[in-house]
Amino acid sequence: MTALDHWADSASAESDEPEYYCDYDSCSEAFSDEDELRDHEVTVHFYCDACDREFQDENSIRSHRNSKVHRGQSMCCYFCNKPYVTTAGVFHHLSMTTHMKIVRRFTAVTRQTIYLTYHTRSRCLLVGIR
């Protein structure tokens, strides 16, 4: 087969017909790939296909998709090893527990030290220091 024949065959194999259809209540949208369909379900219908759950608004589904259910738990508290999804979650945990009081009492660790330690592990999220 020549290069010209190859391109002709692959062009005829492609179709402009959509392959994925939204089967949500009275929605007639059609999409050429599955990712477009999933994006549509999330942004228009606030539906999580992986969990088969509906949400009230875009903020709710965005929070759900950003939760440990979908992202996992990659950050841990260095003191008790409790897992968190984000650096902000670890900092909130630290501020709500007695870890910092105990650490400051016996060592020279400061908020700045802890911030820099976690910040180097999670550059995608900037957390302020008080």
With the C-alpha atoms ordered 89, 91, 96, 98, is the resulting torsion angle positive or negative?
positive
CATH number among 3.40.960, 1.25.40, 1.10.3470, 3.30.160, domain 3-69: 3.30.160
- Give the separation between CA 69 and CA 29, rounded to whole angstroms: 28
pLDDT recorded at residue 51: 84
pLDDT in tens, 56-115: 998 998 888 877 777 766 778 877 888 887 777 887 887 777 777 766 665 656 666 666
Give percent of the chain above pLDDT 90: 12
What are the distances in angstroms from CA 126 to CA 85, 107, 115, 119?
Answer: 14, 26, 10, 7
**Rounded mean pLDDT of the chain?**
74
* For the chain, domain boundaries: 3-69, 72-121
> Of 6-10, 16-20, 51-55, 88-92, which gets the smallest average pLDDT?
6-10
